[in-house]
Amino acid sequence: MFPVHRPRRLRRTPMMRDMVRETHLRPEDFVYPLFVQETSPKPEPIQAMPGQSRHTIDSLVAEVEKSAEAGLKAVLLFGIPKEKDEQGTGAFIDDGIVQKAVRAIKEKKLPIAVITDVCMCEYTSHGHCGEIVDGDVHNDKSLELITRTAVSQARAGADIVAPSDMMDGRVGAIRGALDEAGFDQVAILSYAAKYASAFYGPFREAAGSAPQFGDRQSYQMDPANVLEALKEVDTDIAEGADMVMVKPALAYLDVIRAVRERTNLPVAAYNVSGEYAMIEFAAKAGVLDRDRIIREVLLSIKRAGADLILTYHSLEMAQKLK
């Protein structure tokens, strides 16, 4: 040991540190989640997520163009419909907001993949992720709405569909429906281990998707569990998932690591709205060095084992890394 070993030798200069760095961030690592709405003719800033907006189709397309330019390889779309109803019809109609947005992006023929979030909560009047029967979300009835949504997004041109509803059997149901409709090349990024988390708060303000009664604990996972996450990952893979996701990221780094060790599929992690908001508001208050914190957080998620990171800091980071 000491004095033979002096680990500080390799930390002495920036060149030395660059040579031995184990984890690197690249624009290809990031997926940029974006909100598109049809409730206002102008983009609307999201108060709870400084720097992010609910886009119009035009401002969305401009943001996606910038993203492709910066070297990002994928965006993830969330829609905010004009009207909500019991069944969340706006999620699967042919001229739904996300369907229109996907077509508008695809027309530009940009070198960037389009991922669509498959879920009912932004579209239902009650704000839950599926169909309500006797006061709870009915699993198998919800699958019908969810598969219709995935197929209509694929028809609009989505490259990857990402179900985030946490119903049982959804990956298999979506895979079957996509194949039957001729979309066997559309991939599924499954939100396999999605926890019932308080970190989604700002998103629910952004998307207007807070449940009107109760909470999501009967379908999203208990934050205390990690074996259950592996069970969810196993079943989603058996049902045909192409990639699996852990969500949120920062409070679940151990889960990301466990999933990484479990599968050889690409693993994604969602650095969610609350994680974003904590950094932005702390930086505004002058208590954190924003730029360094963003890098440190993203590095930690990658080091934990994520191949892809869904983060609202994607565009900024890609521009900085270029």
State yes or no: is 106 an active-site residue: no
Q: How far apart are CA 99 and CA 257, in angstroms?
A: 35
Q: How far is the CB of 10 from ligand PBG (least distance, A)?
A: 37
Q: How far is the CB of 204 from ligand PBG (least distance, A)?
A: 6
Q: How far is the CB of 135 from ligand PBG (least distance, A)?
A: 18
Contact pattern from residue 240 through residue 279 relative to ligand PBG, giving x for each residue in contact according to CB under 6 A and a dash for the rest: --------------------------------xx------
Please, are residues 246 and 259 in contact by the beta-carbon 8 Å criterion?
yes
**Per-position DSSP letters for 226-283, written without gaps between them:** SHHHHHHHHHHHHTT-SEEEEESSGGGHHHHHHHHHH-SS-EEEEE-HHHHHHHHHHH
Cβ proximity to ligand PBG, 97 vs 121, nearer residue? 121
Secondary structure (3-state) at 4: coil
Q: Rule CB under 6 A: choose which of 129, 188, 192, 277 binds ligand PBG.
A: 129
Q: Encoding tokens for residue 133?
A: 């029967």
Q: Rule CB under 6 A: choose which of 164, 190, 311, 314 binds ligand PBG.
A: 164
Under rule CB under 6 A, residue 183 binds ligand PBG: no
Phi first, then psi: give them for residue 260, nearest 5 degrees: -55, -40
Q: How far apart are CA 115 and CA 111, in angstroms?
A: 13
Q: Which of 194, 231, 302, 320 is catalytic?
A: 194
Q: Which of 73, 108, 141, 247 is catalytic?
A: 247
Under rule CB under 6 A, residue 195 binds ligand PBG: no
Q: How far is the CB of 85 from ligand PBG (least distance, A)?
A: 17
Cβ proximity to ligand PBG, 121 vs 267, nearer residue? 121
Ranges within 85-124 binding ligand PBG (CB under 6 A): 117, 119, 121
Q: Which stretch binds ligand PBG (CB under 6 A): 151-159, 180-188, 196-204, 253-261?
A: 196-204
State yes or no: is 194 an active-site residue: yes
Element spanning 207, H or E: helix 201-207
**One-letter amino acid of 56:** T
Under rule CB under 6 A, residue 154 binds ligand PBG: no
Q: How far is the CB of 4 from ligand PBG (least distance, A)?
A: 48
**One-letter amino acid of 34:** L
With CB under 6 A, what is the number of residues at the site for ligand PBG?
A: 11
Contact pattern from residue 29 through residue 68 relative to ligand PBG, giving x for each residue in contact according to CB under 6 A and a dash for the rest: ----------------------------------------
Secondary structure (3-state) at 114: strand
- Residue 162 buriedness (CB in 10 A; 0-12 / 13-18 / 19+): buried
Strands 113-118 and 160-163: parallel
Q: How far is the CB of 98 from ligand PBG (least distance, A)?
A: 13
Secondary structure (3-state) at 94: coil
Q: Which residue has the tokens 């990952």?
A: 233
Q: How far is CA 185 from CA 27, 98, 157, 158, in A?
A: 24, 20, 11, 10
- Site residues, ligand PBG (CB under 6 A): 117, 119, 121, 129, 164, 200, 203-204, 209, 272-273
Active site residues: 194, 247
